[in-house]
Amino acid sequence: MKGPGNIDLSRRDVLKLGAAATAAPMMTKAQQAAPDAAVVTTASLTVNGKTHALKLDTRTTLLDALREHLQLTGPKKGCDHGQCGACTVLVDGRRINSCLTLAVMHQRHRVTTIEGLGTPAKMHPMQAAFLKHDGFQCGYCTPGQICSAVAVLAEIKQGIPSHASKDLNASMQPTQSEIRERMSGNICRCGAYSNIIDAITEVAETKVST
Amino acid sequence: MRPFSYEQAATPAAAAAAAARNPDAKFIAGGTNLLDLMKLEIEKPAHLIDVNGLALDKIESTPDGGMRIGALVRNTDLAADARVRREYPLLSRALLAGASGQLRNSATTAGNLLQRTRCPYFYDTNQSCNKRDPGSGCAALQGFSRQLAVIGSSNSCIATHPSDMAIAMRALDATVETVQPDGAARKIPIADFHTLPGDTPHIENTLKRGELITAVTLPKAVGGKQLYHKVRDRSSYAFALVSVGVVVHPDGSGRVAVGGVAHKPWRVEAAETELPRGAKAVATRLLAGAKPTHDNEFKLTLVERTLEAVLAEARSAG
């Protein structure tokens, strides 16, 4: 048996198949002993409007499910520890670090990646603004920056305060200090920050005026 | 990451019972701290009990005029709650000073209380650490300790508790509500929840095996000016060197809780009687018996100066 791109079955695949066969009683078994091989389970993930049935090692993060199982390579693995924000996706419209959550925990959620926000032919306004303002250099952090930026404007619109908000009870405005604070979970090693802020500000202003 | 089996708990009591049956099980909610540590094999659960489906995500009023915050309320939602912003602004401010927008969207109220330390020697599995590997020693004692504890520490551990939210909860006299494996409920005052390291730094709180946090309650709002100042190496998305949360009343009385200095949120009620005499008097009593290292003795001065700044702001704020 050959998998796509694989010469033959890897040891991991064998373990997966073996564990899959015993997946049903895994919960009761696990209470007696630690599993010494991968535990494989089935999971249904709804991503960018499409539902997929997947067989996953329980250890699979949402990020790895998106990249390795669904070939959605927009979300990037930067640090894999929630420090850089390159893996940011939207879950039920809220931005999270997809590297710090398990795929099996999101079976009832709607996941949106950069691929679901827009396409080269029909870009999301935030994607277009990043292009216009040169909001990137190498581009590795960009999908996370854009997903985060889209959510930041939604959070401001919903009145969610931030550390930069002087008055917790006033309506929130997309000022530069608010955007900088709210985007602090997305690191850009190229240092395109000022252009990123310009891009987000333009989208915010367009939204306010329309 | 080590392999683990996974289940979704049906009720809080069932989750607690499942955890009590399996000593290698852990609860998972937001997962932002646990998965980070599992990737490093600092946490090695053989079984995960997903508690996200337990409907513990409501914020409700309590009969005594206070508030019950479900264990699963996300940090963003708690900070943004209209009543929290109005009546417990210290809690909103502390939450918003922590982590990033993405992390606050995942991280839960109970998980925030249960965060592990960010001591670099706890994270580096090549170093000895009594918290990670009891009995192995503490490399931090002779190491780079600028971030670490100045008070309440021991010869076994000088780690700090990293939470901002917990500082506010301590100042606001929160109570942790739990369910035990036999289904019985328990209430733990926040002052009795986190423990000092002593010679068992791997024990960080007074939860029993399998016990699950279901909610955190706040008593009726106390009013006053409520402020939280966090001093850190970056202006956003960094852990505190020192943080100070205060409630200051018009008559000058109030409450002070400090973060970044100890294994738990640091509050000494007796020190608060010094508030009318100013920051130095409070800080002296609050930090009496401190044992800083050469690297972190600056924190003693920093607490006093941050408190002075917060009190000045409280006096000037409209």
- Give chain A as a DSSP string: ---TT-SS--HHHHHHHHHHHT-TTHHHHHTTS--SS--EEEEEEEETTEEEEEEEETT-BHHHIIIIIS---SS--SSSSSSS-TTEEEETTEEEEGGGSBGGGGTTSEEE-HHHH--SSS--HHHHHHHHTT--SS-SSHHHHHHHHHHHHHHHHTT---TT-S-TTSPP---HHHHHHHTTT---TT--HHHHHHHHHHHHHHHHH-
Structure tokens at B69: 């915050």
- Give residue A36's pLDDT: 87
* Mutate: best of A64, A98, A168, A177, partner B, most B CBs <10 A: A168
Classify residue B60 by burial, with Cβ atoms within 10 Å: 0-12, 13-18, 19+. Answer: exposed
Q: Do A101 and B35 touch (CB under 8 A)?
A: yes
Residue A72 confidence (pLDDT) above 60: yes
What residues in A contact B237, CB-CB < 8 Å? 184-185
Residue B126 confidence (pLDDT) above 90: yes
Distance from CA of B291 to the nearest CA of A (A): 31
Q: Do A165 and B96 touch (CB under 8 A)?
A: yes
Residue B254 confidence (pLDDT) above 50: yes
Residue A182: alpha-carbon gap to chain centroid: 16
- Out of A36, A162, A186, the one facing B96 most closely (by C-beta) is A162
- The predicted-structure confidence for B176-197, as pLDDT tens digits, reads as follows 999 999 999 999 999 999 999 9
Residue A5 confidence (pLDDT) above 80: no
Q: Do B102 and A95 touch (CB under 8 A)?
A: yes
Residue B174: alpha-carbon gap to chain centroid: 12
* Mutate: best of A59, A141, A148, partner B, most B CBs <10 A: A59
Residues 3-22 of B with CB under 8 A from A: 3-7, 18, 21-22
What average pLDDT does the structure give for chain B?
97
Q: Backbone phi, then psi, for B62, in 5-degree steps?
A: -105, 160
- The predicted-structure confidence for A131-171, as pLDDT tens digits, reads as follows 999 999 999 999 999 999 999 999 999 999 999 999 999 99
Distance from CA of B170 to the nearest CA of A (A): 20
Please tell me the distance from the alpha carbon of residue A87 to that of residue A64, in angstroms, as a whole number: 10
- Give residue A21's pLDDT: 41
Please tell me the distance from the alpha carbon of residue B84 to that of residue A66, in angstroms, as a whole number: 36
Reported residue count of chain B is 318
Torsion of the alpha carbons at B196, B201, B203 and B206, rounded to the nearest 10 = 0
- Give residue A209's pLDDT: 54
| Residue B111 Ramachandran class (φ > 0 left, ψ -120 to 50 alpha, else beta) | alpha
- Give residue A22's pLDDT: 42
Q: Do B5 and A104 touch (CB under 8 A)?
A: no
* Mutate: best of B5, B52, B227, partner A, most A CBs <10 A: B5
> What number of other Cβ atoms are within 10 A of residue A138's Cβ?
10
Count CA atoms closer than 13 A to B126's CA, side-chain side.
0
Q: Do A38 and B46 touch (CB under 8 A)?
A: no
- The predicted-structure confidence for B204-234, as pLDDT tens digits, reads as follows 999 999 999 999 999 999 999 999 999 999 9
Please state the rounded mean pLDDT for residues A76-105: 98
Distance from CA of A33 to the nearest CA of B (A): 8
Q: Do A30 and B4 touch (CB under 8 A)?
A: yes
Please state the rounded mean pLDDT for residues B281-309: 98
Q: At what angle do helices A193-209 and A125-132 cross, to 10 degrees?
A: 130
Please state the rounded mean pLDDT for residues B227-244: 97
Q: Do B103 and A94 touch (CB under 8 A)?
A: no
Distance from CA of B38 to the nearest CA of A (A): 10
Residue B16 confidence (pLDDT) above 70: yes
- The predicted-structure confidence for B19-65, as pLDDT tens digits, reads as follows 999 999 999 999 999 999 999 999 999 999 999 999 999 999 999 99
* Least confident span in A33-42, A54-63, A127-136, B46-55: A33-42
What percent of chain B is predicted at pLDDT more than 90? 99
Q: Which residues contact B12 (CB under 8 A, 6 or more apart)?
A: B51, B54, B56, B179, B212, B214
Grade residue A51 by pLDDT with cuts at 50, 70 and 90. very high
Please tell me the distance from the alpha carbon of residue B206 to that of residue B195, in angstroms, as a whole number: 7
Q: Do B35 and A38 touch (CB under 8 A)?
A: no
Q: Do A185 and B106 touch (CB under 8 A)?
A: no
- Give residue B53's pLDDT: 97
What average pLDDT does the structure give for chain A?
88
Residue A128 confidence (pLDDT) above 80: yes
What residues in B contact A58, CB-CB < 8 Å? 3-6, 48
Please give the order of strands across the beta sheet that includes B254-259.
B225-231, B242-248, B254-259
Residues 57-96 of B with CB under 8 A from A: 76, 79-80, 85-86, 89, 92-93, 96
Please state the rounded mean pLDDT for residues B273-291: 98
What percent of chain A is predicted at pLDDT more than 70? 82
Query: Which chain A residue is nearest to residue B33, measuring alpha carbons?
Result: A100
Residue A18 confidence (pLDDT) above 60: no
Q: Measuring CA to CA, which residue among B96, B38, B99 is closest to residue A100?
A: B38
Please state the rounded mean pLDDT for residues A173-181: 98
